[in-house]
Amino acid sequence: MTKNYLRAIALPILVQLFFFTVLNAQVNNTPNSNTQGSGTQNSSGATNSGSRAADDDGGLNTRISFMLGAGFSGILTDLYEEPVIDKVTNFVKIQDATALRTNLSLGIIYSPYIYEVSRQVRQSDGSYQTMTTNIAYGWSYALFINPVNLTAIANGGSRSNIDIGIGWGYRTSGGFTALLVAEFFPVKQPRDYFVEKYKGNDQPYTINNEIQTSIDLNDNSIFYNKVAFSVGFKLCYTFDIVKRFADAASN
């Protein structure tokens, strides 16, 4: 009951947060205009001069970034461990799978908000220069894909085995991001008829009235890929490949 309730509310909440971010970004995506300064003095008497970074493009190329994320999630789909046969009684044993999932994923993050960021750079003469640039950060949303699945696709694997996730959270100006994530992933599961027959853990597995001592995990008449759903948390770090390509193209 609890899993069904969480399943029903988790995805709609993420969808609403997605549209909330997009709509607000249309109003608040203009950088601050006070990017130049006439210069101020620091406490040591050295002059601060203000300037904008030469490669500043208004922050547009920082909106989309690749990232690597790790985290945990709670599985909201009823899953079972792979069934096994007890070596003593020859009874089939089926147990509920753990509800906790950890994983490492590659993703793409989009940050619609652009903010002006300044930093102090010490000059050779002891003065400090204020460098100003525009960086996209703040509330963001993301798309994740498991890197293992990318390898499977490259090797001709089935696309139905891809697990993906969508996330919403806060991205810092330093590149770290904390996200609430909803993920969909395939899991090999025993078919319903098999679970119903052996879930009591008190029957032997027989074929043609002969008791079996093992179960073929590749038998498609017993197993299938079930799409599971989970909600959790990820901590990510971004690397601006998009900005680097844009900078290289402009040089």
Q: How far apart are CA 34 and CA 155, in angstroms?
A: 52
- For the stretch 46-88, pLDDT in tens is 444 455 544 455 566 778 889 999 999 999 999 999 999 998 8
Element (H, E) at 235: strand 223-239
Categorize the per-residue pLDDT at 163 as very low, low, confident or very high, splitting at 50, 70 and 90. confident
Per the CB < 8 A criterion, the answer to whether 106 and 145 are in contact is yes
Q: Which domain holds residue 148?
A: 2-250
Question: 198-202 contacts: CB < 8 A, separation 24 or more?
Answer: 198/83, 198/92, 198/94, 199/94, 201/91, 201/92, 201/93, 201/94, 202/91
Categorize the per-residue pLDDT at 128 as very low, low, confident or very high, splitting at 50, 70 and 90. confident
Per the CB < 8 A criterion, the answer to whether 179 and 233 are in contact is yes
Per the CB < 8 A criterion, the answer to whether 188 and 224 are in contact is yes
Per the CB < 8 A criterion, the answer to whether 167 and 181 are in contact is yes
Per the CB < 8 A criterion, the answer to whether 70 and 104 are in contact is yes
Q: Is the pLDDT of residue 213 over 70?
A: yes
When comparing pLDDT for 120 and 89, which is higher? Answer: 89
- pTM value is 0.65
Mean pLDDT of 206-221: 91
DSSP conformation letters of 156-199: T--GGG--EEEEEEEE-TTSEEEEEEEEEEEEEEE-HHHHHHHT
Categorize the per-residue pLDDT at 3 as very low, low, confident or very high, splitting at 50, 70 and 90. low
Q: How far apart are CA 238 and CA 180, in angstroms?
A: 16
Domain count, the chain: 1
